[in-house]
Structure 1
Amino acid sequence: MKLVKSLLLGSAAGFAAVAGAQAADLPSRKAAPVEYVRVCSAYGAGFFYIPGTETCLRVGGRVRAEYTFGERWSERQDSYGTRALGRIFVDARTATAYGTLRTFIRHDINTRTGSYRYGALNNGVNPFSLNGRLNEGNGASLDKAFIQFGPITAGKAQSFFDFYANDLGFSSLRTSDRSTNLLAYTASFGGGFTATLSLEDGNTTGFSNVLSAAGAAGGRVYQGSVMPDIVASLRVDQGWGSAQLSGAVSDRGTNRVAVGRVVDSGDDFGFAIQGGVKFNLPMIAAGDQLWLQAAYADGAIGYLGWGGAAGVGRALGVVGDFTVNPITGVGTKSTTGFAIVAGFRHFWTPQIRSDLIASYSELTMGRVAGPVVGGVATTLKGLNPKELVLGANLVWSPVSGLDIGVEVLYSRVEFSRRIADAKSVALGGPARTIKSDDAFAGRLRIQRDF
């Protein structure tokens, strides 16, 4: 028995030795170390380190479903509209010896129908469209794409002229809210004070740099810019809130086309100034804010939020930075105007809030072409619109990042003289005139930000 045990143990030892020798001949493989994604807390919530780098990245976006209802002015219009918007953004930041290196990209894609496609300041106002009912539209836009390296900002970013850029509410007020190609330098002085000098391409803002079509004899054409807009701002951000003073100078060169000849007008320059303040009001409720802003423009009404069309409902007109003498076709007069904006956000509970928003604006234009009487051309004073926009909403946020809300909007415009009723013109009925009009609209929004 002892002999059998000895043989078995000896055999096992031999097999183990042979196996060990063969294993020693095989190549050795060590498992690669696992690199876990690390949270980056240097720039706020949502950032993480890209594995293998010192760059912090945040990826986020938005989905918005929106529905609007408003008064329609004829059977050729839609009384409602729908819109779906998808947004994605990427924010990458790296700490360097020269300051933070930041790259930001935000892209929007949307589809819209009905009164969302009529092209007014607030689509829910449902202005009369001479094109009748419009079909579904899809759009994609590069909203932001910029690089920040220390004090330098380059790319497409929010204009440094802007302060209140429709931060509250669902609807747009008459204010500057411009995303533009720019090159800017920002100096920081400590204590939350900064000053910025920015060269901005006005051709990327969606506002036209041309004369009022109603003010040009025989038409007009855009001459082309010789320089970008020059924007400067001084800003402070502290615990109590923020304040900003900004100004802009812009080139609005055009060719004035007179009867039988073309007159080169050269370069017509416009300017705008704006001041605004935002107060944080935690003494009322956490998150409460009050915005106040005023702006004035001369030959640069895009900085007031105007551009091209002006009107509500059946009262529609055309405005521009300059008007031309309608008799001679030479001599421009700049359009001047101002806009006042106010907004208040109040949290009734941590999950329920309301926004109250309002804007009032006036423009003063030069004289424009009138009817020919007895073979003699006449002139009319400009439209000189006065516009009021009021809005209020109630929003419920049952969970973080989700908003469910309704908003009511009122808009009114009044011109300095009577103009053709857009409804009677479009339907080919008896000619009627109108001097003012107003409209109500309602909006339902469901939005998720992540």
Structure 2
Amino acid sequence: GYFFIPGSSDTCLRISGYVRAYFAYQGRNQNNSSGQIDSAATSTINPVIVNAGGVLGAAGIVANVPGVTAVGTNTTNNLNLVSYGNYGAVGNDIALQAAAGGNAAATARLNSLGPNYVLFANAETSDQYVSGIRALLRFDARTKTEWGVLRSFFEFAAATSNAARNGTGVQVRFGFVQFGPITAGVTESFFNTTASNLFLSAFGDQVRRVPTLAYTASLGNGVSVTLAADDSSIAFAALPIGSTTTGLLINSGNWVRRAVQLPDAVGNIRVAQEWGNAQISGAVGQFRFANTACTAAFALGATCTSNKVGWAIATGVQINLPAIARGDTFLVRASYSEGALHYLGYVTTQSYFGNSNASGTVTARTGFAVLGEFNHFFTPAIRSSIVGSYTRLGRNPGGAAFGASTVNLREAWQIAGQLFWTPVRGFDVGVELFYQDLSFNAFGGGALGNRIIGSVNDAGWGGFFRVQRTF
């Protein structure tokens, strides 16, 4: 698919991409924006605790209700209320004022639930039916030199949907330069193993795309070793330095994130041969936090900064199965992390670094994920995939408890299948169905903070129909 650039005798270029139309439906108790629906697994509405610590009335709603930043206060929602819909335990769209006391009807209903009651908020925060298009364009230019291949690659993407009717701006998804063994730019993290074929990424699917600087040494016979420096700020998404909602802390108290000092160190050993491929990879990263309560009047001996190390390891094997059918493969992979939970793959927005409190303690949370996938060709034109994945997040090392009045993800599993028909090369018509189940632990208020007071479960399903032309 390459051709020489006109006027050049040594540089060839390949232009490729696709146009995709998709039509998706997701069950309730899920929150999935159009930007996520073709790139990451659906996340759930966070469960919340009401009447925390026995404080009855609307003032007992804890801070992880969307729009509420502290018990009994609201500084981010101009309407100054939180609405629970028919899918919550309160029921019938009762609007609860975040101010102390709330309205009489809401307060009476809350009081009847008793202390430390766990429920889900209104599930309908985004459309359940989403349709749209996605277009992608790639340019790959290569020149052979005496030091190896000189390559430049970049990929543009844009999309629009019923949830984002004006479309999204053009994104540069990939952009890197390779010169022999050196890779510099934005590409898939070398921590990633072979990706799943699913349209919707399963829990634990490693889909990290980061700015990186890497060196790959080829040892022959399909064996290579890579060392890389990944931009670690991606763990904080778009959250600013000093944010009190870092997305990485549970019960964060006065803690905020500090500026990134160092990139993550990433490495892998990979073998790719006729039978398939295998890889083992690891990553180590720095996490820095500051205690904003450290003033002149702060208690002597208090911990004002905390620099922590998070790490992760992963292994994966993909085996080709031509004895069953040409193109058939089986993939299995597993990953484990302490602190650097973003390396586990997608496990919802409650993938925090760990636990912290106002007294100066920051501890890392552990977790692991496994994923298996079987791909089968019934005929050269009809193929299918079935994928199962499981992710579990532990408590903190040493038995440290999460803070009082918090709800956090414990485990998530998902099964999905797809069936595609390719009547013409480069043209796919297919469907994909998934079912997912998540469990959350709730930690009580006050003196109950050291034990689980209950758990909640959220399950949902969804499906996609996709038409795609690849060129």
Question: TM over 0.5, yes or no?
Answer: yes
Q: Does 1:62 align with 2:18?
A: yes
Mapped pair 1:240 → 2:195: no
Matched, 1:321 2:353: yes
The one-letter code matched in structure 2 to 1:386 is E
How many angstroms does 1:448 deviate by? 1.1
CA distance change for structure 1 residues 442 and 357 in 2, over 3 Å: closer, same or farther? same
* 1:235 partner amino acid: R
The Cα of 1:291 is off from its aligned counterpart by 0.6
State the shift of 1:264 in Å. 3.1
8 A contact 2:341–2:351 mirrored in 1: no
* Post-superposition CA distance 1:12-64 (Å, at most 9, x none): xxxxxxxxxxxxxxxxxxxxxxxxxxxxxxxxxx0011133211110111111
Task: Check 1:405–1:321 CA distance in 2 against 1; reply closer, same or farther (3 A cut).
Answer: same
Equivalent residues, number: 353
Question: In the TM superposition, what is the alpha-carbon distance from 1:139 to its structure 2 partner?
Answer: 4.2
1:304-383 equivalent positions in 2, closer than 5 A: 304-306=344-346, 309=349, 318-324=350-356, 326=357, 328-366=358-396, 367-370=401-404, 383=408
Q: Structure 2 vs 1, CA of residues 159 and 419 (structure 1 numbering), >3 Å: closer, same or farther?
A: farther
Contact 1:47 1:57 (8 Å CA) reproduced: yes
Q: Amino acid of the residue matched to residue 252 of structure 2?
A: A
- 1:216 pairs, out of 248, 252, 273, with 252
Corresponding position of 1:277: 317
Name the TM-score, length of structure 2 as normaliser: 0.70
CA distance in 2, matches of 1:343, 1:369: 37
Q: Distance in 2 between matches of 1:77 and 1:182?
A: 34
> Could you tell me how far apart the structure 2 residues matched to 1:211 and 1:84 are?
30
Aligned residue among 456, 460, 463 for 1:435: 456
1:181 is matched with which residue: 194, 203, 211? 211
- CA 95–205 in structure 1, closer or farther in 2 if over 3 Å, else same: farther
Counterpart of 1:313 in structure 2 is none
Tell me the secondary structure at the aligned position of residue 250 of structure 2: helix
- With the length of structure 1 as denominator, give the TM-score of the two structures: 0.73
Q: For 1:375-405, what per-residue CA distance to the aligned partner results, in whole angstroms no more than 9, with x for missing partners?
A: xxxxx6x635200011001100010011100
Structure 2 residue 5 is the aligned partner of structure 1 residue 50: yes
Pick the aligned partner of 1:106 from 147, 151, 155: 155
1:130-279 to structure 2, matched below 5 A, reads 138-166=168-196, 168-173=197-202, 174-204=204-234, 207=237, 210=246, 212-218=248-254, 220-258=255-293, 263-279=303-319
RMSD, matched Cα:
2.4
Matches of 1:208 and 1:248, distance apart in 2: 21
SS at match of 2:424: coil
Q: Distance in 2 between matches of 1:355 and 1:139?
A: 32
Q: Distance in 1 between matches of 2:435 and 2:192?
A: 24
CA distance 1:162–1:208, shift in 2 (3 Å): farther
Aligned residue in 1 for 2:27: 71
What residue number does 1:7 align with?
none
| Percent identical | 35
Q: Are residues 278 and 105 of structure 1, via their aligned partners in 2, closer, same or farther at CA, if it must alter by over 3 Å? A: same
Question: Over alpha carbons, which structure has the higher Rg?
Answer: 1
Q: Which amino acid aligns with 1:297?
A: S
- Unaligned 5+ runs, structure 1: 1-45, 118-134, 310-317, 372-379, 421-432
Matched residue, 1:374: none
Structure 1 window deviating more from structure 2 (173-182 vs 437-446): it is 173-182
Pick closer, same or farther for the CA change 1:211–1:266 going to 2, 3 Å. farther
Deviations 1:54-87 (A, max 9, x none): 1111011111111111223566653201121110
Could you tell me how far apart the structure 2 residues matched to 1:248 and 1:208 are?
Answer: 21
- Conserved? CA contact 1:409–1:440, under 8 Å: yes
Give, in whole Å, the separation in 2 of the partners of 1:358 and 1:202: 29
Counterpart Cα distance in 1 of 2:443 and 2:168: 36
- Closer, same or farther in 2 for the Cα pair 1:84/1:229, shift >3 Å? same
Residue 438 of structure 1 deviates from its aligned partner by: 0.3
Q: Is the 8 A contact 1:182 1:198 kept in 2?
A: yes
Amino acid paired to 2:441: S
CA–CA distance in structure 2, aligned partners of residues 308 and 264 of structure 1 = 29
The higher relative CO (CA closer than 8 Å, separation ≥ 6) is in 2
